[in-house]
Amino acid sequence: MPLDVESIRSDFPILGRKLPNGKQLVYFDNAATSQKPQCVIDAMSKYYSEYNSNAHRANHTLADEATTALEGARMSISTFFGTSPDQMVYTSGATEAINLVSYAWARENLSADDVIVLTEMEHHADIVPWQQLSKEKGVEVRYVPIDTDSFTLDMDAFEVAVKGASLVCVVHTSNVLGIRNPIERIVELSHSQGARVLLDCAQGAPHERIRFDDSEVDFVAISAHKMGGPTGIGCLLVKKDAMEQMGPFMTGGSMIKTVSTDGSTFQVGHAMFETGTPRIAEAIGWGAAVEWLEQFDMKEVHSHINRIASWTAGRISEIEGITVYGDPSRNDSSGAVSFLHDSIQSQDLALLLDEGGFAVRTGHHCAQPLMNALGVPSTNRASFWLYNTMEEAEAFVDHLSYVADRFSDK
């Protein structure tokens, strides 16, 4: 059933906002962070106003309610991602999830003889942890290039790079290009070499239902704030055999079992990796977000976003001077539409779009190796989610055409 977008929009009070210049907000920066439905705002507010307390290890009523809500959220979130709560580690987001694999799994299991395979389209968060590991342990890091005509991964190069690899780290969907990588083929090739696979799903999870237990992926990193949840929380999904190979990373707080002057013992499973006081309000907020998302068929969500992105990319590529990077016309592409104008610098263009009420992102999008491959320093990026409308996209195309006509060098 098609999405009732008008009804969806009514759940997001911020979408009715007008900017200081009086223009109606048109929010097209969803790949950076999504807006939050009222139920998420309410759930977090209710926690702070009615039962704020530290979770676990207490017998009073508020602590019991906070613990129940925290663990209830874990159940909702893990169920949404098709796995069990004991395979989910709360983190601050996808970046911390990737760093957790780097510190808790890779440093325990990899040495100078090992190879890690990355791609040119990774976010910095999935590059720098491995560069640091390489410096520390001598692990070889290989990069799979993209085909700059199709904007897709060069899978022939991947087949060569994966030979002898121990770990393959790949982005599910590019935050710049909107391209969804052939994950199933990547996992098959990686596992045939005995390599584990880490999937960065920061951009994929808001578009596609992740079914972790049905997949062969070993690690999945997710951020809540790009899928209706609050900032500051995310998770790492881990296969049971991989979790058994992980050692403690950060220490203290919830991960402790016992401490004496002779030494310490730690919790096992996901609890070993959740240090300090949990992000209780954020977890509760994310739980509310996934429960809200459960009412939709994620295939419909994807189709809606893909349709707007594909239409927008097609129309803006007809504007003189505009080049689109990526291929939103592919059925599996996300809602990210990156583009540049040949004579209006990207920062200028972003300000001129903002004057019309359109919020888009500008810069290298934390993907400088990809920018180098594309031969550009930055792009403008419009990115859509389930509450965006074709009317908004039409207004955006009209305003961009107007700006290009008025401000380009003639």
Partner 1 sequence: MSLIVFLTSDEHFQDEWSRRQNMPEVRDWPEKLLPIIEEFSACFDSMERYELLFQYAKRNPSPLHPEEWNEQNQVLGCQSRAHVSCSLDDEGNFILRGGADAQIVQGLMTITAIALNGMDPSHVSAMTPDFAEEMGIKSSLSPSRANGFLNMFNRVKDEASLLSEGE
Q: Which is nearer to partner 1, 67 or 378 (CB)?
A: 378
Instruction: Please pick, from the candidates 85, 145, 363, 401, the single residue that binds partner 1 as defined by CB under 8 A.
Output: 363
| Contact positions with partner 1 (CB under 8 A) in 391-410 | 391-392, 395, 406-407
Closest separation in Å from C-beta 245 to partner 1: 40
Helix 298-316 and helix 390-407, axial crossing angle in degrees, nearest 10 = 20
Instruction: State yes or no: residue 241 binds partner 1 (CB under 8 A).
Output: no
Closest separation in Å from C-beta 22 to partner 1: 5
CA 231/CA 404 separation, integer angstroms: 34
Q: Which is nearer to partner 1, 320 or 405 (CB)?
A: 405
| Contact positions with partner 1 (CB under 8 A) in 25-44 | 26
Closest separation in Å from C-beta 400 to partner 1: 13
Give CA angle at 183 (367, 135), nearest 5°: 45
Q: In this chain, which stretch among 5-13, 150-158, 282-290, 293-301 interacts with partner 1, using CB under 8 A?
A: 5-13
Sign of the torsion angle spanned by Cα atoms 302, 206, 290, 185: positive
Instruction: State yes or no: residue 137 binds partner 1 (CB under 8 A).
Output: no
Instruction: Please pick, from the candidates 23, 46, 56, 209, the single residue that binds partner 1 as defined by CB under 8 A.
Output: 23
CA 356/CA 28 separation, integer angstroms: 12
CA dihedral 188, 192, 198, 200 (to 10 degrees): -30
Q: Report the candidate in 386, 377, 399, 364 with the shortest Cα–Cα distance to residue 175.
A: 364
Closest separation in Å from C-beta 370 to partner 1: 16
- Integer CA distances (angstroms), 203 to 219, 228, 368, in order: 15, 12, 17
Instruction: State yes or no: residue 64 binds partner 1 (CB under 8 A).
Output: no
Instruction: State yes or no: residue 218 binds partner 1 (CB under 8 A).
Output: no
Instruction: Please pick, from the candidates 320, 355, 372, 405, the single residue that binds partner 1 as defined by CB under 8 A.
Output: 355
CB 217 within 8 A of CB 172: no
Q: Which is nearer to partner 1, 126 or 392 (CB)?
A: 392
Closest separation in Å from C-beta 395 to partner 1: 6
Active site (annotated) includes residue 366: yes
CB 233 within 8 A of CB 224: yes
Q: Report the candidate in 171, 152, 176 with the shortest Cα–Cα distance to residue 31.
A: 176
Instruction: Please pick, from the candidates 166, 223, 378, 383, the single residue that binds partner 1 as defined by CB under 8 A.
Output: 378
| Contact positions with partner 1 (CB under 8 A) in 315-354 | 344-348, 351-352, 354
324 dihedral zone (left: phi>0; alpha: psi -120 to 50; beta): beta
Length of the chain: 410
Strand partners, 340: 323
CA 55/CA 67 separation, integer angstroms: 4
Rounded to a whole number of angstroms, the CA Rg of the chain reads 22
Instruction: Please pick, from the candidates 6, 149, 241, 262, the single residue that binds partner 1 as defined by CB under 8 A.
Output: 6
Q: Which is nearer to partner 1, 179 or 319 (CB)?
A: 319
Q: Which is nearer to partner 1, 163 or 406 (CB)?
A: 406
CB 316 within 8 A of CB 344: no
Query: Which residues make up the interface to partner 1 (CB under 8 A)?
Result: 5-6, 9, 21-24, 26, 344-348, 351-352, 354-355, 362-363, 378, 389, 391-392, 395, 406-407
Give the residue numbers annotated as catalytic, written as ranges: 366
